[in-house]
Amino acid sequence: GDSVTQMEGPVTLSEEAFLTINCTYTATGYPSLFWYVQYPGEGLQLLLKATKADDKGSNKGFEATYRKETTSFHLEKGSVQVSDSAVYFCALSDLRGSTLGRLYFGRGTQLTVWP
Amino acid sequence: DGGITQSPKYLFRKEGQNVTLSCEQNLNHDAMYWYRQDPGQGLRLIYYSQIVNDFQKGDIAEGYSVSREKKESFPLTVTSAQKNPTAFYLCASSIDMDRGRDEQYFGPGTRLTVT
């Protein structure tokens, strides 16, 4: 079945460091891919998305490229800030399976950025 | 402002009592979802609804019930049959469940504690 695997955290970085959070997926069809962010005690916010192979999603300095050949959607940011500290979730939506349109989430990766 | 509201933010109940969590959206979205979040486990889908008067079980529907009598409302009842109900509950909605319109928007969540 469909699934998402994220790198386990926690990830701890100094301010201005480079961030990569790995995400790989398994899907029977052609999924849309998403990154969501969750700040403490809050709901999830959509960070970026990509709907087809080679698409690059970007927002607030974060980027992720849909790589069909490696079934990956790694999240990157060139210079993190303390305010980026949060939990990041990778997710996929597979529109060709019997479970039309539902999202499958990874377990989340906790990021802490120190000043 | 359009968005999703969940109330209350914190809810306390005694074991054996049913409790209903509210979810309202004014985004005019057709699809709505309920997730449960436990530490280190990511999000698990409880129920979803693609349209008014229709809903489907997700991965962990046992001990929960929902209704979808109005487009903007999707309440979740946690029954006494749910063995471990203490968790953070998140409601979400999307335009519908087709590609390009399936990105989900989340409410702020309700933290339920059952003792």
Percent of chain A's residues with pLDDT above 70: 94
Could you report the per-residue pLDDT of B45-83, keeping only the tens digit for each?
Answer: 999 998 899 999 999 999 999 999 999 999 999 999 898
**Predicted pLDDT at B42:** 84
Q: Using 50, 70 and 90 to split pLDDT, how confident is the model at B2?
A: confident
Q: A-chain residues within 8 Å CB-CB of B106? A: 36, 43-45
Predicted confidence (pLDDT) per residue in A78-106, tens digit: 999 999 999 999 999 876 655 566 889 99
Query: A42 touching B, CB under 8 A?
Result: yes
- CA B27 – CA B3 distance, rounded (Å): 6
Q: Do B105 and A46 touch (CB under 8 A)?
A: yes
For A42-58, write each residue's pLDDT tens digit: 899 999 999 889 999 99
Q: Report yes or no: B61 and B45 within 8 Å, Cβ to Cβ.
A: no
Contacts of A46 in chain B (CB under 8 A): 103-105
> How many angstroms separate the CA of residue B76 from the nearest CA in chain A?
17
HSE, side-chain direction, 13 A CA sphere, residue A106: 31
Provide the pLDDT for residue B105.
93
* Per-residue pLDDT at A18: 98
Give the pLDDT score at B39: 83
Residues 6 or more apart whose CB falls under 8 angstroms from that of B77 comprise B18, B19, B20, B21, B64, B65, B66
Closest Cβ–Cβ partner in B41, B90, B98 for A101: B98
Torsion angle, alpha carbons of A95, A98, A100, A106, to 10: -80
Q: pLDDT band at B106, cuts 50/70/90?
A: very high
Chain A contact for B75 (CB, 8 A cutoff): no
With CB atoms and an 8 Å threshold, state whether B104 touches A32.
Answer: no
SS3 assignment, position A84: helix
Whole-angstrom CA distances from A89 to A38, B26, B35, B101 are 8, 25, 14, 19
Rounded Cα–Cα distance for residues B70 and B52 (Å): 6
Closest Cβ opposite residue B99 in set A42, A95, A108: A95
Residue A95 neighbours by CB distance under 10 Å = 19
Mean predicted confidence (pLDDT) in A11-36: 93
pLDDT at res. A97: 57
CB B32 within 8 A of CB B49: yes
DSSP-assigned states of every residue in B63-112? TEEE--SBTTB--EEE-TT-S---EEEEEEEES-SSTTS---EE---EEE
In this predicted structure, the answer to whether residue A30 has a pLDDT above a threshold of 70 is yes
Residue A94: the pLDDT is 74
Q: Is B104 at the interface with chain A, CB within 8 A?
A: yes
B16/chain A closest Cα distance in angstroms: 26
Neighbours of B41 (CB within 10 A): 12
